[in-house]
Amino acid sequence: MIVFKNVFEIKEFLKNKNSEGKKIGFVPTMGFLHEGHLSLVDRAKTENDLVVMSIFVNPLQFGPNEDFERYPRDQVRDRELAQNNGVDVLFIPEIDDIYPRSLSVHLTVKERVNVLCGKKREGHFDGVVTVLAKLFHIIEPDAVYFGLKDAQQVAVVEGLVEDFFFPVEIVRVPTVRERDGLAKSSRNVYLSDQERIEAPEIYHSLSKAARKLSDREGDLRSILQELKQSINDHTSGIVEYVEAYTFPELTQLEQLTGEILIAVAVQFEKARLIDNIIVDLG
């Protein structure tokens, strides 16, 4: 595994690989790697000649009251995991490498953001698309891999790539779960022991709701109400939202056809967990 910190050095290296006709798969991350990230690497390895991973905790996508300082970091472990799992090129820039001066152009996401997490995290997706636009220019990947756990991020990035004609394929990778169903997340470490026992109920309740929607058992409103009730009844977390939209447009559902995203966010004492299921109603 080759490690780069410098933007121009990695650009030069990958330009040569590109001209040798190597297919480049890219896995952007903020580090503190878990099996979710490694599943993206596994998938990228099967579809590319070279797998590039970036580790960069992007300050631009954290709000003033969010956990930028507290966001878990462990570079030694991350390097080892990346190396042992077949990453070929690791890019670990510093903040000054990515943002050497204040931005003279700002990207603002206009659609797919006023729902779900985007509603509360003003500016979050502006930060995500800004750093990804930079990373896409640096890496010039053929394909980029995103986990569906953050379905809104996938929807927003698909919008970015379509709007700006980035010559990259977005690959949606299914959420990786613990054995009891809890979606893997860097933030799970913030759960107390009791909360960790309760948290899988989020996925169990979501699965029940998805089955009811597929079987058209009841109307959407009552399915979502039952979902919220079930999480309230079985966990000490506070349900922040339970919502359903068309996917990936994230618009209100006018009819029950096509891909439908059912998504939840639950606030525990120190961890805010999100999860979702996409139901394809054809």
41 binds ligand PAF (CB under 6 A): no
Please identify which residue in 10, 14, 30, 202 interacts with ligand PAF, judged by CB under 6 A.
Answer: 30
Partners of 246 in the β-ladder: 260
Please identify which residue in 28, 36, 123, 141 interacts with ligand PAF, judged by CB under 6 A.
Answer: 28
In which order are the strands placed within the sheet that holds 169-173? 2-4, 89-91, 50-55, 24-29, 143-147, 169-173
98 binds ligand PAF (CB under 6 A): no
The one segment of 128-136, 195-203, 212-220, 254-262 that binds ligand PAF by CB under 6 A: 128-136
Backbone angles phi, psi at 108, to 5 degrees: -125, 125
In the complex with ligand PAF, which residue's Cβ is closer, 124 or 212?
124
93 binds ligand PAF (CB under 6 A): no
Please identify which residue in 58, 85, 175, 276 interacts with ligand PAF, judged by CB under 6 A.
Answer: 58
| Active site annotation includes 37 | yes
Q: Is 184 within 8 Å of 70 (Cβ atoms)?
A: no
Please identify which residue in 4, 26, 29, 155 interacts with ligand PAF, judged by CB under 6 A.
Answer: 29
128 binds ligand PAF (CB under 6 A): yes
Catalytic choice (37, 137, 204, 234): 37
Distances (CA, A) of 114 to 119, 130, 212: 5, 18, 27
Partners of 265 in the β-ladder: 241, 274
Total residues contacting ligand PAF (rule CB under 6 A)?
A: 10
138 binds ligand PAF (CB under 6 A): no
Which residues contact residue 32 at a Cβ distance below 8 angstroms, ignoring those fewer than 6 apart? 71, 72, 73, 74, 78, 186
In the complex with ligand PAF, which residue's Cβ is closer, 21 or 100?
100
DSSP 118-187: HHHSTTHHHHHHHHHHHHHHHH--SEEEEEGGGHHHHHHHHHHHHHTT-S-EEEEEPPPB-TTSPBP-GG
148 binds ligand PAF (CB under 6 A): no
Tell me which residues are annotated as active site: 37
Contact positions toward ligand PAF, by CB under 6 A?
A: 28-30, 58, 61, 128, 131-132, 150, 153
